[in-house]
Structure 1
Amino acid sequence: MFSSLPSISLLLLSWALLSSCREQQLFTSSVTYCEPPETLLIQQFYVAYFPSNHSLSFNISAASVEPNVNVTANLYLNVYGMGPVNVTLDLCNILHGALCPLPMYNFTGADSIPLPSSLSVSIPGIAYKMPDIEAFAQLTLTQVGTGQVKACVQSTLSNGWTTHQPAVEWATGGIALFAFLSAFWQSIYPDSLAPFRFVELFYLYQTIVSSNFLSINYPSVYRSFGLNFAWAMGLFSSSSSTIQQSVTNMRHLTGGHLDDRSSDTAVGFVNRKLSPYNFPGKSALVIPSSSSPSNSDFSVADFSSLAAFFTAPAPTADPSSFKQLSSSTDVQTVTSASSNVLQAGVPIYVSSVHIPTANASTTIFLVSLMVLAITVAIFAVGRVLLIISQRRNWKRTKLERATTAFPWFVKAWFLRVTAIIFAPIVIFALYQWTLKDSWLAVLLAVISFLGVVGAIAFVSFVIIRYAFQKDSASLFSHREYLISYGALFAQYRTSQFPFYLVALAIFFLKAVVIAAVEGHGQTQVILWVIIEAFLVIATLVLRPHQTRGGDVLSTYLAITRLVSAGLFIAFIEGLAVAPIPRTVIAVIIAVMWSVAVLVMFVSILLNTGVQRLWKKPQSVASSPTLASSENSSVLEKGKNGESVTVVRSPSSFSLAGRPINPTPEQNIPLDPRAIQPYPSSSIMLTASDAQSSPRVEHSSVGSSTLGSVLPRRWSVTPSTPPMSLPMSPPMSTSQSSGSAFTISQVSSSPQSPYSPHLRSTPEHGH
């Protein structure tokens, strides 16, 4: 895991170095018809160009189905919105007239051949190194004389480099697994931050994924980068999965009508106005003009090496074979009026992981059920182990504590799981409602939505109700509430404990923006920026975390989200930003997210709690973390309004043993009489009184019943009280029954309110 981790941050910066170790090439990555096929049927079309030896490799299976068709061929190349190649060829002038007219036969061939030296191909070197290059080629066959389009084929080009790397997926998954193991071990300590960092790591992954769901023109490099984190949203690549087939069948049986195709690549179905096509016109193809000049390089080039593939005797045309070829082909027709065109946002993203758009919500529902089932199985095994341990009487005292706290521990982890699946379910449930496809898919979306939202709402109600009935401090001192529900609020300060609702509200509002404002990219980006700005302001103003490091980390992540949302403005279609600047901005955003993932990984390492293996638990008074926390010592009000100091801490309890600081679960106000300052009279105790009477009488000036034997730290100096001091009558039995001594308080000199003969030397600092 650690060896592949650097690929996250260096992924976008090391292409030039890595490409020197790999052969440069350009090849077709997808093929579609840009017009319904009439003359030319294509079953397979793969072409690759290698500049090192100026050669061409191809694997083509096609057929011409109309006799006596003379056509001209227009070749158009689009690279980042630019058209460096747009030439028209007269097929009668090349290949010794072998393609004039088009022969009626099936052509299947695969070979690698050198191109003529007279044919110059000038392609910039960056095209072989830039990941997710945005380029496509279009071949249009137009009938001579009529100008009718007989065939149109579009093929996207790739150089083999992409930001969607299996190594990055495994690295991010490895980080998540490491964070889970650390969180699971550390979750027995309510003051540990490891469980919170585990949940925040998933929030970061899901934020990166959800940033691809807006209706804007994302560059191809950013779409591919976002696919590295699709698994965190519950979207696993499953083009041939039986799950997708079952979901598709379920939708069709319950009124589903949307397209259910999940091809090997979604780029061929992308709206031609979007990347990687960046089409300049309104239509889905470039119509060559009759005045388009022929390229002299093609006209004079010697294609004798290619002519052998086309001069073979043509077999007898069998119309049935052409029909069979047409029905078995995987090449789809994608035009501006096609129903299978993928629009920006959720459709392109989920189709890129081979999940049909209409299947996404049901897929998330099934994945969430699997996660919950795994969680139940883990804790069922834990419960069985506890029962076995109880029957064998292993460390009975600790087992009793573990058995008592086990249900609370289970509640905490189910809360964490619910918080992790909250964003995927809410986003795709709301989006499924807008599709109006299968009634069963909508029903499952409603069930999952109400399930996660209802669970969070119920727990929040319990927490807030208890905080209002008692006070917010009670949430951190009540053992059951701290362990069971602290998974949501324990990392925040006492006064800011509901701040966890802000993170969940952010995802909920984003889901509303994605679903309700679909198709309006500009509005979505503006609302997205407002939401992220609100989070930044709330984090800076409230500073909700108990530690300064937590506030710094949350502020950094919030600013990263805000900046990335602001840069999305360049992707709005209406602004028509050129493809190259858009790509540069996309690379910057991807690098920002990569650095954020690395920062989260470092934070997880720092909160692994390894030091607990050799360090003893610190008391509340000696713990620097708790001493600096707001929860270490707070000033509270007693029943009669007196101010009392109560010491408490979120880390007072531990599942591993007895409480570190045995604080009562409820704040008990102290007796105000026991904490009153000494009056303006000194306290003097004679040696004779101390020897003759076990009780001390209170004077009329003031008295205090301490209720216990004076500790050794009190030093007594013999002194003779003034004879003029009037003595008060002795206390009644009921008044003095709780006292071991009676301390007489007498007036002292005006210069000092306290007698110098009695001093307190406490053994411990308070």
Structure 2
Amino acid sequence: MASLTSSTRTLLLVLCSLLALVLPSAAEKKLETNSLNACQANSGFTASLFNLRYTPSKNSIDVNISAVSTIEARVEFDVTISAYGYQFYSLVIDPCKFDLAGFCPMVSGNLDDPFSLNVDPSTASLVPGIAYTFPDIDAKVKIYINATSGAMAGQSVACLEANVSNGQTVDLIGVKWASAIVAGLALVSSALLSGLGHSNAASHVAATALALTGYFQSQAMVGLVGIPLPPVVQSWTQDFQWSLGIVNVGFLQNIFTWYQRSTGGTAARIIDTLGSVSVEVQKRSEPLLAPSLSLFKRAEAIMPRSLTQHASSLMKRGNIKTDYGSYIVYGIQRVAFRADIETTNLFVTSIVSFYVVMAFTAIIIGLFKGACELAAKARWIKGDTFLDFRNGWITILKGILFRITLIGYAPVTILSLWEFTQRDSAAEVLLAVFFLLYVNIGLFWASYKLIRIAHRSVVLHRNPAYILFSDPQTLNKWGFLYIQFRASAYYFIVPVLGYTVLKSFFIAFAQNAGTVQAIALLLIEAGALITASVLRPWMDKKINSFNIAICAVNFINAIFLLIFTKVFDQPDIVTGVVGVVLWVLNAATTLILLLLIIISTAIVFFTDNPDGRYKFMADDRTSFMKSQSQLATTGELDALAMTARGEKAGYGTTITPTVHK
């Protein structure tokens, strides 16, 4: 054991010296890796735990490792170093020439001994300066241990791979907060403008805010795919997982874990056991996942019994792939791990996040209604301020809750479908069935109601906009479905929902088939781009351009995902470069869209006539959008107006006399 420990330290010293050639550096130059991964089937040297940090300024390497060797033969090490798929350094090391004790020949045994090593200071000068500052650098060292004697002579008996990081990343809390705050304020601004009677400006702001939120969700969905993604893509897409309700709140995670266990499930403990188990974030091809299953079976004999039972239960669910005690996470699991959320808590986390938002929204709306009434009675505000909201706040609240349901439609659908493949507990599967039916039946039923109302308006008035925009009850309750589209394209919400359902099915059910997933998403995004470009269904030219640009970027992202599957058998350097291009493209697009919505919303609020800043729609919606307070002051006049429009009760219109004191 002592011999193995000494020889392993020598090997690690060589490994870390070579890694220093590609290590990034920041204010504090460092190299770190959290897993030493087996990269071939039947590898004779594996590590269930490997934490390494190299600090050039201190000339030291701190290592915490738990490994097993089954090799007993003379060997040589074939070492390659690459960055962004470009292999720029390689060498072959004969341990006998370097007098590496324990490796001439290699001996079998266990290693579980943290240690530190000193490194030659001259090594730091070999590191390129840009490598220390570029975020999410994609660098790795691969070592093949080849036997030179015995029955396995001339063959590789082990393969080890370490992905290294410089600690710099684009997964930043500032990006998360900035994007969330801008999208939230835009939605709130549209509500305030609507309450103040500026319906035209409110419609434009709401349309851009919804499009921006949809774009954030599309970027987040890129991170959910079961395709190996470059580190920078993983980090960038992680910035927008909040838009899918994937938000880590400590005490809630404890509640979710308790709930799952109390309903018969087995909670994952990956986050809790990072101090004793390594987790490999998938960057390998799909065929290598299958060999890891056989490796896991052989590893059971050397793993602690409690860990073996836990890993076995996870394997039965297909939740986490295990390689000699170290776990592999990919796709949706990868997102959960990077968010420090146990994979078995992810579904409930997303669901609860959205419905907590709905609950808080309902409370805020109720408090605002009470505050308005109090202010009106105390004459702090004019009697007609927010009058439409005060008279129909229940209907407005229903419309707002429906809008939040629409925003949460994609994540609820994706994760509910995914839960069927995970079966975290019987109660959670039941919740998945309930919420999947709830959002789909609710939104498609609302779409059916919308189509009926629009059809009736066409029959009576030869214009779908008439009832859709003249009836405040219809507009406030169902407007979230159609207000962002031109009146003649009111039906376009149905293709939007269908587009979301298709993406959800492939993201949720094709986690183990990355190529199928990529091709399907490419076809879906191509169809969305063509449809948006040809029909141009949104309310005006600017909103159409805004959405078509988003569809174009989503289509390009889908092409990049197909490239990441290596279906074209391209060199690794192409994959690395494409990952950086995806990040740059989406970062630039996000910045431009954020600036556009910030500037346009700010200008609206500092303009005396917000509605005048936008052209009135050619569908005459503005002429129909009359304030309920201007139409009548009594219930009889309201009824007379309805009769004149040819309307009947039963379409969500309730006659409520308005009495002014």
1:28 pairs with 2:33: yes
Partner of 2:61: 58
1:213 pairs with 2:201: no
Q: Secondary structure, in 3 states, of the residue corresponding to 1:224? A: helix
Q: Secondary structure, in 3 states, of the residue corresponding to 2:59? A: strand
Partner of 2:335: 349
**Of 134, 152, 173, the match for 2:180:** 173
Give distance in 2, aligned partners of 1:529 and 1:41.
38
Q: For residues 621-632 of structure 1, what are the structure 2 equivalents within 5 Å?
A: 625=614, 629-632=617-620
Give distance in 2, aligned partners of 1:323 and 1:219.
31
**Of 598, 619, 626, the match for 1:653:** 626
Q: Secondary structure, in 3 states, of the residue corresponding to 1:60? A: strand
In the alignment, is the contact (CA less than 8 A) between 1:31 and 1:268 conserved in 2?
no
**Of 68, 80, 93, the match for 2:99:** 93
Partner of 2:253: 244
Structure 2's unaligned 5+ residue stretches are 1-23, 296-301, 459-463, 647-661
In the alignment, is the contact (CA less than 8 A) between 2:25 and 2:132 conserved in 1?
no
**Of 395, 398, 404, the match for 1:408:** 395
Question: What's the CA shift for 1:184?
Answer: 3.2
TM-score scaled by structure 2? 0.74
Give distance in 2, aligned partners of 1:108 and 1:552.
58
**Of 113, 132, 136, the match for 1:132:** 136
Question: What's the CA shift for 1:260?
Answer: 4.3
In the alignment, is the contact (CA less than 8 A) between 2:487 and 2:619 conserved in 1?
yes
| 1:137-171 C-alpha deviation (Å, 9 max, x unpaired) | 46789999778999987543112232222332233
Give distance in 2, aligned partners of 1:508 and 1:519.
19
Give distance in 1, aligned partners of 2:29 and 2:62.
19
In the alignment, is the contact (CA less than 8 A) between 2:61 and 2:119 conserved in 1?
no
In the alignment, is the contact (CA less than 8 A) between 2:35 and 2:279 conserved in 1?
yes
In the alignment, is the contact (CA less than 8 A) between 2:208 and 2:546 conserved in 1?
no
| Paired-residue identity, % | 21
Q: For residues 173-572 of structure 1, what are the structure 2 equivalents within 5 Å?
A: 173-188=180-195, 189-191=198-200, 192=202, 193-237=204-248, 241-257=250-266, 259-262=268-271, 268-271=279-282, 273-274=284-285, 341-342=327-328, 344-389=330-375, 392=378, 395-398=382-385, 401-471=388-458, 472-473=464-465, 474-572=467-565
Give distance in 2, aligned partners of 1:335 and 1:492.
45
Give distance in 1, aligned partners of 2:289 and 2:93.
17
Q: For residues 561-640 of structure 1, what are the structure 2 equivalents within 5 Å?
A: 561-608=554-601, 610-611=603-604, 614-616=607-609, 625=614, 629-632=617-620
More helix by share: 2
In the alignment, is the contact (CA less than 8 A) between 1:234 and 1:364 conserved in 2?
yes
- One-letter amino acid of the structure 2 residue matched with residue 404 of structure 1: N
| 1:208-232 C-alpha deviation (Å, 9 max, x unpaired) | 0112223322222211111111111
Give distance in 1, aligned partners of 2:98 and 2:432.
59
Partner of 2:90: 84
Q: Are the structure 2 counterparts of residues 489 and 609 from structure 1 closer, same or farther at C-alpha, using a change threshold of 3 Å?
A: farther
Question: What's the CA shift for 1:250?
Answer: 3.3
Q: Report how many residues are paired.
A: 585
Q: Are the structure 2 counterparts of residues 64 and 96 from structure 1 closer, same or farther at C-alpha, using a change threshold of 3 Å?
A: closer
Partner of 1:645: none
Question: What's the CA shift for 1:484?
Answer: 2.5
Question: What's the CA shift for 1:409?
Answer: 2.4
Q: Secondary structure, in 3 states, of the residue corresponding to 1:470? A: helix
Q: Are the structure 2 counterparts of residues 28 and 218 from structure 1 closer, same or farther at C-alpha, using a change threshold of 3 Å?
A: closer
Give distance in 2, aligned partners of 1:104 and 1:442.
41
- One-letter amino acid of the structure 1 residue matched with residue 139 of structure 2: A
Question: What's the CA shift for 1:272?
Answer: 6.1
- One-letter amino acid of the structure 1 residue matched with residue 450 of structure 2: I
Give distance in 2, aligned partners of 1:545 and 1:230.
26
Partner of 1:314: none
In the alignment, is the contact (CA less than 8 A) between 1:237 and 1:354 conserved in 2?
yes
Give distance in 1, aligned partners of 2:445 and 2:67.
66
Give distance in 2, aligned partners of 1:90 and 1:183.
73
| 1:424-453 C-alpha deviation (Å, 9 max, x unpaired) | 101111111122342111111112212222
In the alignment, is the contact (CA less than 8 A) between 1:546 and 1:630 conserved in 2?
no
In the alignment, is the contact (CA less than 8 A) between 1:199 and 1:419 conserved in 2?
no
- One-letter amino acid of the structure 1 residue matched with residue 358 of structure 2: L
| 1:706-757 C-alpha deviation (Å, 9 max, x unpaired) | xxxxxxxxxxxxxxxxxxxxxxxxxxxxxxxxxxxxxxxxxxxxxxxxxxxx
Q: Are the structure 2 counterparts of residues 202 and 86 from structure 1 closer, same or farther at C-alpha, using a change threshold of 3 Å?
A: farther
In the alignment, is the contact (CA less than 8 A) between 1:216 and 1:573 conserved in 2?
no
Q: Are the structure 2 counterparts of residues 361 and 57 from structure 1 closer, same or farther at C-alpha, using a change threshold of 3 Å?
A: same
| 1:153-193 C-alpha deviation (Å, 9 max, x unpaired) | 75431122322223322332332243244233223233221
Give distance in 1, aligned partners of 2:510 and 2:107.
52
In the alignment, is the contact (CA less than 8 A) between 1:73 and 1:88 conserved in 2?
yes
Question: What's the CA shift for 1:503?
Answer: 2.5
Give distance in 1, aligned partners of 2:557 and 2:111.
54
Give distance in 2, aligned partners of 1:251 and 1:583.
39
Give distance in 2, aligned partners of 1:271 and 1:519.
12
Question: What's the CA shift for 1:631?
Answer: 2.2
1:161 pairs with 2:134: no
- One-letter amino acid of the structure 2 residue matched with residue 46 of structure 1: L
Structural RMSD (CA)? 4.9
Question: What's the CA shift for 1:391?
Answer: 5.2
Q: Are the structure 2 counterparts of residues 526 and 96 from structure 1 closer, same or farther at C-alpha, using a change threshold of 3 Å?
A: closer
In the alignment, is the contact (CA less than 8 A) between 2:281 and 2:334 conserved in 1?
yes
Q: Secondary structure, in 3 states, of the residue corresponding to 1:269? A: strand
Give distance in 2, aligned partners of 1:28 and 1:133.
12
Q: Secondary structure, in 3 states, of the residue corresponding to 2:601? A: coil
Q: Secondary structure, in 3 states, of the residue corresponding to 2:239? A: helix
TM-score scaled by structure 1? 0.64
Q: Are the structure 2 counterparts of residues 152 and 257 from structure 1 closer, same or farther at C-alpha, using a change threshold of 3 Å?
A: farther
Q: Are the structure 2 counterparts of residues 393 and 161 from structure 1 closer, same or farther at C-alpha, using a change threshold of 3 Å?
A: closer
Give distance in 2, aligned partners of 1:95 and 1:340.
27
Q: Are the structure 2 counterparts of residues 91 and 42 from structure 1 closer, same or farther at C-alpha, using a change threshold of 3 Å?
A: farther
Structure 1's unaligned 5+ residue stretches are 1-18, 287-321, 633-647, 671-766
Question: What's the CA shift for 1:356?
Answer: 3.1
Q: Are the structure 2 counterparts of residues 42 and 511 from structure 1 closer, same or farther at C-alpha, using a change threshold of 3 Å?
A: closer
Q: Secondary structure, in 3 states, of the residue corresponding to 2:257? A: helix
Question: What's the CA shift for 1:101?
Answer: 8.9
Q: Are the structure 2 counterparts of residues 252 and 335 from structure 1 closer, same or farther at C-alpha, using a change threshold of 3 Å?
A: closer
In the alignment, is the contact (CA less than 8 A) between 2:135 and 2:166 conserved in 1?
yes
Q: Are the structure 2 counterparts of residues 144 and 49 from structure 1 closer, same or farther at C-alpha, using a change threshold of 3 Å?
A: farther
Question: What's the CA shift for 1:88?
Answer: 3.9
Give distance in 2, aligned partners of 1:439 and 1:105.
40
- Which of the two has higher C-alpha Rg? 1
Q: Are the structure 2 counterparts of residues 151 and 546 from structure 1 closer, same or farther at C-alpha, using a change threshold of 3 Å?
A: closer
Q: Secondary structure, in 3 states, of the residue corresponding to 2:189? A: helix
Give distance in 2, aligned partners of 1:207 and 1:501.
18
In the alignment, is the contact (CA less than 8 A) between 1:71 and 1:101 conserved in 2?
no
In the alignment, is the contact (CA less than 8 A) between 1:29 and 1:158 conserved in 2?
no
